[in-house]
Structure 1
Amino acid sequence: MLDKSYRPQEVEEKLYSRWMESGAFECGRNDSEDAFTIVIPPPNVTGNLHMGHALNNTLQDILVRFERMRGKDVLWQPGTDHAGIATQMVVERQLAEQNVTRHDLGREAFIDKIWDWKAQSGGSIIGQLHRLGASCDWRRERFTMDEGLSKAVRKVFVQLYKEGLIYRDKRLVNWDPKFHTAISDLEVEQKEVNSHMWHFRYPIEGEEGRYIIVATTRPETMLGDTGVAVHPDDDRYKDLIGKHVILPIVGRRIPIVADEYADPEQGSGAVKITPAHDFNDFEVGKRAGLEVINIMDINACLNDEVPEAYRGMERFEARKKIVAEIESLGLLEKIEDHTHMVPYGDRSGVVIEPFLTDQWFADAATLAQPAIRAVEQGRTKFVPAKWTNTYYDWMRNIQPWCISRQLWWGHRIPAWFGPDNMIFVEETEEQALAAAKAHYGSDVELHQDEDVLDTWFSSALWPFSTLGWPDKTPELAKYYQTDVLITGFDIIFFWVARMMMMGLHFMDDEPPFHTVYIHALVRDEHGAKMSKSKGNVVDPLDLIDRYGADALRFFLAASAAQGRDVRLSEQRVEGYRNFTTKLWNAARFCEMNDCAVADGFDPFGVKDPVNRWIVGEVAKCEAAVREALEGERDGYRFNDAAGAVYAFTWNVFCDWYLELAKIPFQGDDEAIKSETRSTAAWVLDQILKLLHPFMPFVTEELWQSVAANRSTDLIVADWPVYPENAVDADAEAELEWLQGLVSGIRGVRAEMNVPAGAKIPLIFNDGNDVQKDRLTRHWEVISRLARLESKDVDAELPKGSLQFVHDGATVALPLAGAMDLDAEKARLAKEIGKLEGYMTGLNKKLGNEKFVSSAPEAVVQGERDKLSEAEIKLAKLKEAAERLAEL
């Protein structure tokens, strides 16, 4: 016998271990040629499960469990990313506690420390994914620094270099002065800062007393200016184009150039150009042929390219000194308060410096072309489709990809330098030495590039490197192309686009996936983005502890509407825990009524209309879930699938069918009783199958508990397949009529505030013979569900009868004897007055322009929602009052 309540804490770990030990998650379990593959977006080895991970992996697991039950050979490929800068930072912090730096240890010893850390503490997120129920093939878990994946990285780098698609160049990069490395745009966090705009006068060469005024938010960079730009159509400066200014403090003679980058509407219309310390200025400098002077070192302190008094100064200290000196020279025009965006390293927390340095770059523009075509041709599609344009915008305007990082932890660049700095790029040092010997004619000493590759470089190979590439493995042949990639919009550029580039280039023009499903953000219940600084971060593990993994998973699936952010409501998670309880109680009810599938039972041959109806409803529910999860129409609609199985389980099975089944359960007709018991047990089994992808733990526990001698665990049971004629139209029409009648009566009772315990008579007039027959045959259940004491057909209506029309027939409910009509009229009038007063207050608040403009958007929307709910309630109260007035 099932326990009275479901306790997920006692079940989840037990079932997960059972699945793991049975090999249920493993690919290759069956001989199906029909494969289904998903690669997990590899979380950082340093990471912990957050709500974004929970959403992402829940959606993947739903598809994986669904397709596994459908008989496909499923591979959900798991793994973690080595997360170069994040991991190095963790270990460096630990060393700092011992007053040790990585430089004290040296490169090899420091890397050994990182491997030790990974073995002991890294990858805790994997265990957290287990708690969520993620059914990945864990025996195939990969790490981006595994030897097999490292081999793939080396091969890709060498091949792209020899094809001219990787090269070394001196360009501007995002430089992190704390970690001493270039970082990607993704690792740059733009923060709004209240600062100043400084306006300096630059003297025109040879024109005493004439100046051109430039404005800057970064005075410290002016020592590296090599030009001033004005718009070619700006009449104020046409006579100055081609002339020179004398750079204050430095004394350098720099040209005035014409370039459309200068905006005549902004400031003075003239802009200082510092090619070595601003990305836009770098491009202007290239067009105008300006000198590029780097005035900072790796610590963002001024170097020897500046006047001696400034050498070695930290950049922001230099800023103060420069402003003071400009003012003392009489060249400070004005200082304005100014709010602007400043780039910070998302991990270091320091201001990022555009920095000119030698780096390795990939020719992203060339690699992007096949990736653009694949989407244009429909070989890969984005869901929701709106993200297609985001992808195109990025890819069609893509810049060279800086792939080198000045770190120690990561894939070391397979490039070696000869005595004259000749570069030899090979997969191994032995091959590089051989190439050098062939070049120089004798053995020479080489030294390997100190840099490592951007983490995204190895992640870009994930869909095929994890399958054994560059070796031609059976897994590669069977599971590539993968099916759907589920990820967040924030890494379309940095991961999705790069996987497309690399997959097409190295896998014979085959995209790495046919669909990219972009899920939304998980926000707090007010719609605000979660952040530690706001204190509104919710730990998914806390919710699992309180409500169980199934409740959290179902909430996430039910909330995952395409293009709409998820608002995390603990109350809704609790509501889905109640859904778990509802399912558990329904199973207990079936068990207490001896519901079991009899030998030879054919659900599609049942006789009773109620049983024929519920069998058809099961088939309709399965079709809705399957269509939403197959993704063939309108992409993957997780919320529709969850909504369909929820509505069927709670509303159709629990609230209607089991109530209807009580009649035969308690009756004397053994044939109908036996058929209903088998039908109820069969329907419960179908529900467990349909719900399993969403709520794997409670469904598996019930599957193993409510029936003896299961031939297989639910996780690998067959997905339901029903005959085309599963829906009985006559039974469907009959039960819809019955439900409509009961619902109509219940609605009137609730609207009129009829006491719950009061039984009222029913008068049924103007119905046809079919309706009258239905009323008679189902009277026992109708009277119990609608709390009726008697029925009359085609009878005279007594005074005080409330009427409504149902399927053409008149349904009358004499209420006078069941309630005090005058007291109810008074109650309604009082409630209407109270509600109207409440709405007056809300309207006054929302009419206050100061409140609307200054209060947080979520607060204002909350007040609007309250008003909308009140308006609906008021309309219902007034309708009820009008009905009573007629009695």
Structure 2
Amino acid sequence: MSTELLKAYEPKEVERRIYDFWMQGGYFHAEPDPEKKPYTIVIPPPNITGQLHMGHALDETMQDILIRWKRMQGYSALWLPGTDHASIATEAKIVEAMRKEGITKDDIGREGFLKRAWEWKEKFGGRIIEQLKLLGSSCDWDRLRFTMDEGCSQAVRHVFVKLYEKGLIYRGERIINWCPNCRTAISDAEVDFEEKEGSFWHLRYPLADGSGFIELATTRPETMLGDTAVAVHPEDERYRGLVGKKVVLPLVGKEIPIIADEYVEMDFGTGVVKITPAHDPNDFEVGRRHNLPVLNVMDDGGIINENGGKYAGMPALEARKQIVKDLDAGGFLIKIEPIKHNVGTCCRCHTVVEPRVSTQWFVKMEPLAEPAVNVVKEGKIKFIPERMDKIYYNWMENIKDWCISRQLWWGHRIPAWYCADCGETIVSETDANICPKCGSRHLRQDEDTLDTWFSSALWPFSTLGWPENTEELKYFYPTDTLVTGYDIIFFWVARMVFSGLEHMGEIPFKTVFFHGLVRDSQGRKMSKSLGNGIDPVEVIDQYGADALRFTLVTGNSPGNDMRFSDEKVAASRNFANKIWNAARFIHMNIDGKEVPCSLPEALSLEDQWIVSRFHAVAREMTENLDKFELGIAVAKLYDFIWDDFCDWYIELAKIRMNGEDESSAQAARQVLTWTMSNTLKLLHPFMPFITEEIWQSLPHEGEALIVAGWPEYDEKMYFPEAEAEMTKVMELITAVRTRRSEMNVPPSKKAHLYVETADAEAFAAERDAIARLAYCSGVEIGESFQVGEGAVTVVTAACRGYLPMDDLVDKKAELARLTKELENAKKQLQNVEAKLGNETFMSKAPQNVVDGVKANGEKLKEKVRMIEESLKALQ
């Protein structure tokens, strides 16, 4: 590693070289080590279809901060990486690529399609991994896993068979969410609800006996083709006499019964609802209670099927338009009421989801959900922030059976075979060839694959070798922390909890750390439709990975969204430059000299102050990180580096290093080097590249910062008295500089300073610092002084300072200058007030222009006030 620093920090020159250094050193790798405590994070596996977006960047940055911190604390810290096969998204991309070639899945068959899919995975599946490396992710790449690799696939089959044999997996006909575009079932958790413009169509259903009609309303008139009843509430007096009678289904002509069911809300609409068991989950349950026929009127592409009569072959929305026309023509349409309502859409392609009855594979959730709720209630798993508990409980306590089959070819094929001769179903971990019931070899494997989340639910233990009882599994499981966005609590978190309990008999992780979403500078969610997405790779290319990481964690708090902007990244880059320049300053003063990375035996007041401040910050940061308050921790460190170290201690050290006392100069050099080296350790998890580069260039102990020890609080190095004394000195310097700035006195104009204080010792110890940093020609310290009239006074909690006016300004010239400045300010203020008093301007000017003029007027009033005060002080 280089011991020289470039004149300016160049992330492109540093980051790839530093990452290669870490990789070659094997610093990311973790092994079971009985001498160390384990700390494990499993990465939320990104899709092989994906590329790095800001959500990933935030998620991976937070995980990397935690894993680097724990690694430095001496844990055997494993961050286990991997990718997800993303069955629906991946298959869609491959099908689209084939479409451009003019071929379909059916043209090449299942084996041909899977061959293409694996080729696609090999070509594009590693793209996001390389992007994670650009971010600085210190994953154990030696343990990279894939949800469809041999080990994970074995775990999936083992779990399927185990749950099937326990009766927790079954195949049956139930209503499911169907995406007509993806042509597959999707789970409840994969349905997003979007507010859309819609209508209530109010319809007449004639009574079969000719005595009148019953009125109801629907948002989906096309599904009436599958109505098998209308329902009213059993206690609704308006319709009690109609229960048991029949109505004639408009346009179809068949008679369907009027039933009574408590599902109906009496005070909503007319109190009558149509029941379509095949196309509505609530209607499906009503139908089961009343043994109603289930009539599916749509195919898997959302096209009206043969059960739709003359509307067969029409897409659902086209059929809707024609049905409404026909209802109107037949006198069945009463009115159309425009509404806004939430419509279920596929979370991947945003196509409107069609609930439909279908034969699928399901997991019984009730017996699995209860223990998963209990471990959170008992505190065995902790959610950060705690408010996520309620969301988790609400979902788990109202959970429905999980539809796990998908009508896709890419994924884990369901390990079930059907005998063509006797109808037996065989579920097996190994491929079935002979029917155990009749001995037939005419077996057909189920065509469907498993929901992607079925395999990722096993991720915390399948990646460690389960179902084999590996050394890694025994050492690293249960994992410690899961870091994930709050929007994935149902998809993944809940499923991992019940899977870990069911298959391992133990929780999968101890803590779930939820972070928010990354929004744009206006607070909007980033999306392709808004065109406000920001590519992290482009940000890294422009500003560097450290600047991006620092931006993402600054101001971040658990579970809350954050806003992203170029201005914030630029500020983070400026912070990196500040650190770089501080390091170069240290090099200018230590290069060619023997400067150990240790503290001198004797510490001056300012030395004690900076060392004490460092230990206080180290203690507070550790406490914050323990509570997952990453944003608070980094804010404290930022203030320490920028204010305490760079703006104060370096300036204080300059005085001694440029002085004649070599022992004092050497002590300052040592404290500078020690503080920088150890501060880099605190900063390393947040900004790993620049910290490693600087640390390697300075005197240090150990081979790499990434495995250097995390700074621990040392009570012997905490000097509260020194901090208090130094604060008094700093407050005086700040007060003098502020007063000089208010009077526009340039730094070159030196003034004598008289300091009245009952605590002379601290001020005397830092006399040289006060003189240099407060631009004083001399400093006198005592209990009282007679300085005469016209002196400028500054007051702090510990002292009173006097600056003779003649030392600061040419009184006559300053009076003339301020008088002229006051005249100009008053003239500008008069113009502003005249404009605000102009009715034409006030009525016609845009509001933002008027607001700008008012704001300018307030600034001018404050300027006039300050000039007048300055004149008064001079007179």
TM-score normalised to structure 2 length: 0.92
Q: Quickly say closer, same or farther: Cα 1:863–1:517, change in 2 above 3 A.
A: farther
What is the DSSP-based 3-state SS (H/G/I as helix, E as strand, rest coil) of the residue aligned with 1:106? Answer: helix
Asked if 2 retains the 8 angstrom alpha-carbon contact of 1:619 and 1:727, the reply is yes
Q: Quickly say closer, same or farther: Cα 1:286–1:745, change in 2 above 3 A.
A: farther
Corresponding residue to 1:454 among 448, 451, 455: 451
Q: Quickly say closer, same or farther: Cα 1:757–1:831, change in 2 above 3 A.
A: farther
Asked if 2 retains the 8 angstrom alpha-carbon contact of 1:596 and 1:678, the reply is no
Counterpart CA distance in 1 for 2:10 and 2:662 is: 36
Corresponding position of 2:793 = 803
Q: Quickly say closer, same or farther: Cα 1:71–1:216, change in 2 above 3 A.
A: same
After superposition, the C-alpha distances for 1:286-332 in whole angstroms (9 at most, x for unaligned) are: 3343322111122222223233x222322222212211221222111
Q: Quickly say closer, same or farther: Cα 1:872–1:174, change in 2 above 3 A.
A: farther
Corresponding position of 1:588 = 584
Q: Which moved more, 1:723-732 or 1:682-691?
A: 723-732
Asked if 1 retains the 8 angstrom alpha-carbon contact of 2:619 and 2:713, the reply is no
Structure 1 ranges of 4+ moved more than 6 A: 828-842, 862-877
Given the alignment of the two structures, is residue 152 of structure 1 paired with residue 152 of structure 2, yes or no? no
Corresponding residue to 1:679 among 671, 675, 678: 671
After superposition, the C-alpha distances for 1:627-677 in whole angstroms (9 at most, x for unaligned) are: 112x2xxx2011111112211111111111111111110112122112221
Counterpart CA distance in 1 for 2:480 and 2:562 is: 24
Asked if 1 retains the 8 angstrom alpha-carbon contact of 2:597 and 2:699, the reply is no
**What do you get for the CA RMSD once the two structures are aligned?**
3.2
Counterpart CA distance in 1 for 2:237 and 2:805 is: 87
Give matches, 1:433-452, under 5 Å. Answer: 433=433, 436-437=435-436, 439-440=437-438, 442-452=439-449
Corresponding position of 1:44 = 47
Corresponding position of 1:566 = 562
Q: Quickly say closer, same or farther: Cα 1:152–1:270, change in 2 above 3 A.
A: same
Corresponding position of 1:730 = 721
Counterpart CA distance in 1 for 2:343 and 2:525 is: 20
Corresponding position of 2:396 = 395
Corresponding position of 1:198 = 201
| Residue identity opposite 1:527 in structure 2 | G
Q: Percent identity?
A: 46
Given the alignment of the two structures, is residue 354 of structure 1 paired with residue 344 of structure 2, yes or no? no
Corresponding position of 2:110 = 107
Give matches, 1:231-380, under 5 Å. Answer: 231-307=233-309, 309-380=310-381
Give the drift of 1:880. 8.0
Given the alignment of the two structures, is residue 142 of structure 1 paired with residue 168 of structure 2, yes or no? no
Counterpart CA distance in 2 for 1:871 and 1:546 is: 39
Give the drift of 1:280. 2.3
After superposition, the C-alpha distances for 1:763-812 in whole angstroms (9 at most, x for unaligned) are: 323x11x32x3333322211221222344553334444443432342223
Asked if 1 retains the 8 angstrom alpha-carbon contact of 2:231 and 2:272, the reply is yes
| Residue identity opposite 1:777 in structure 2 | A
Given the alignment of the two structures, is residue 628 of structure 1 paired with residue 624 of structure 2, yes or no? yes
Corresponding position of 1:780 = 768
After superposition, the C-alpha distances for 1:503-538 in whole angstroms (9 at most, x for unaligned) are: 111112x11111100001101111111111111111
Counterpart CA distance in 2 for 1:700 and 1:29 is: 26
Give the drift of 1:837. 9.9
| Residue identity opposite 2:688 in structure 1 | P
| Residue identity opposite 2:523 in structure 1 | G
Asked if 1 retains the 8 angstrom alpha-carbon contact of 2:232 and 2:264, the reply is yes
Unaligned runs of 5+ in 1: none
Give the drift of 1:237. 2.5
Asked if 1 retains the 8 angstrom alpha-carbon contact of 2:31 and 2:472, the reply is no
Q: Which moved more, 1:693-702 or 1:786-795?
A: 786-795
TM-score normalised to structure 1 length: 0.91
| Residue identity opposite 1:628 in structure 2 | N
Corresponding residue to 2:123 among 120, 124, 129: 120
Counterpart CA distance in 1 for 2:584 and 2:75 is: 33
Q: Quickly say closer, same or farther: Cα 1:865–1:427, change in 2 above 3 A.
A: farther
Corresponding position of 2:736 = 745
Counterpart CA distance in 2 for 1:462 and 1:101 is: 33
After superposition, the C-alpha distances for 1:50-101 in whole angstroms (9 at most, x for unaligned) are: 0010010001001111111111101100000000011111111111111011
Asked if 1 retains the 8 angstrom alpha-carbon contact of 2:728 and 2:798, the reply is no
| Residue identity opposite 2:693 in structure 1 | E
Asked if 2 retains the 8 angstrom alpha-carbon contact of 1:47 and 1:123, the reply is no
What is the DSSP-based 3-state SS (H/G/I as helix, E as strand, rest coil) of the residue aligned with 2:48? Answer: coil
After superposition, the C-alpha distances for 1:146-195 in whole angstroms (9 at most, x for unaligned) are: 01000000011111111111111211111122332102334434333333
Give the drift of 1:879. 7.2
Given the alignment of the two structures, is residue 706 of structure 1 paired with residue 689 of structure 2, yes or no? no
Given the alignment of the two structures, is residue 662 of structure 1 paired with residue 654 of structure 2, yes or no? yes
Give the drift of 1:349. 4.5
Q: Quickly say closer, same or farther: Cα 1:798–1:526, change in 2 above 3 A.
A: farther
Counterpart CA distance in 2 for 1:536 and 1:839 is: 41
Unaligned runs of 5+ in 2: none
| Residue identity opposite 2:653 in structure 1 | A
Give the drift of 1:587. 1.0
Given the alignment of the two structures, is residue 538 of structure 1 paired with residue 534 of structure 2, yes or no? yes
After superposition, the C-alpha distances for 1:125-165 in whole angstroms (9 at most, x for unaligned) are: 00000000000000100000001000000011111111111
What is the DSSP-based 3-state SS (H/G/I as helix, E as strand, rest coil) of the residue aligned with 1:97? Answer: helix
Corresponding position of 1:17 = 20
Counterpart CA distance in 1 for 2:14 and 2:465 is: 36
Corresponding position of 2:170 = 167
| Residue identity opposite 1:418 in structure 2 | C
Corresponding position of 1:477 = 474
Corresponding residue to 1:179 among 178, 182, 196: 182
Q: Quickly say closer, same or farther: Cα 1:691–1:886, change in 2 above 3 A.
A: same
Asked if 2 retains the 8 angstrom alpha-carbon contact of 1:191 and 1:344, the reply is yes
Asked if 2 retains the 8 angstrom alpha-carbon contact of 1:604 and 1:615, the reply is no
Asked if 2 retains the 8 angstrom alpha-carbon contact of 1:56 and 1:486, the reply is yes
Counterpart CA distance in 2 for 1:737 and 1:145 is: 64
Q: Quickly say closer, same or farther: Cα 1:727–1:824, change in 2 above 3 A.
A: farther
After superposition, the C-alpha distances for 1:708-736 in whole angstroms (9 at most, x for unaligned) are: 8x531111112223532111233222211
Q: Quickly say closer, same or farther: Cα 1:248–1:68, change in 2 above 3 A.
A: same
What is the DSSP-based 3-state SS (H/G/I as helix, E as strand, rest coil) of the residue aligned with 1:693? Answer: coil
Corresponding position of 2:686 = 694
Q: Which moved more, 1:253-262 or 1:582-591?
A: 253-262
Counterpart CA distance in 1 for 2:731 and 2:162 is: 69
Q: Quickly say closer, same or farther: Cα 1:211–1:378, change in 2 above 3 A.
A: same
Q: Quickly say closer, same or farther: Cα 1:378–1:600, change in 2 above 3 A.
A: same
Give the drift of 1:428. 1.2
Asked if 2 retains the 8 angstrom alpha-carbon contact of 1:551 and 1:580, the reply is yes
Give the drift of 1:873. 11
What is the DSSP-based 3-state SS (H/G/I as helix, E as strand, rest coil) of the residue aligned with 2:590? Answer: coil
| Residue identity opposite 1:105 in structure 2 | I
Asked if 1 retains the 8 angstrom alpha-carbon contact of 2:231 and 2:260, the reply is yes
Counterpart CA distance in 2 for 1:490 and 1:799 is: 68
Given the alignment of the two structures, is residue 464 of structure 1 paired with residue 466 of structure 2, yes or no? no
Counterpart CA distance in 2 for 1:833 and 1:239 is: 86
Corresponding residue to 1:527 among 520, 523, 532: 523
What is the DSSP-based 3-state SS (H/G/I as helix, E as strand, rest coil) of the residue aligned with 1:658? Answer: helix
Counterpart CA distance in 2 for 1:105 and 1:200 is: 48
Q: Quickly say closer, same or farther: Cα 1:808–1:581, change in 2 above 3 A.
A: closer
Give the drift of 1:839. 12
What is the DSSP-based 3-state SS (H/G/I as helix, E as strand, rest coil) of the residue aligned with 1:605? Answer: coil
Asked if 1 retains the 8 angstrom alpha-carbon contact of 2:770 and 2:779, the reply is no
Given the alignment of the two structures, is residue 77 of structure 1 paired with residue 74 of structure 2, yes or no? no
Give the drift of 1:875. 7.5
Counterpart CA distance in 1 for 2:835 and 2:455 is: 59
What is the DSSP-based 3-state SS (H/G/I as helix, E as strand, rest coil) of the residue aligned with 2:715? Answer: coil
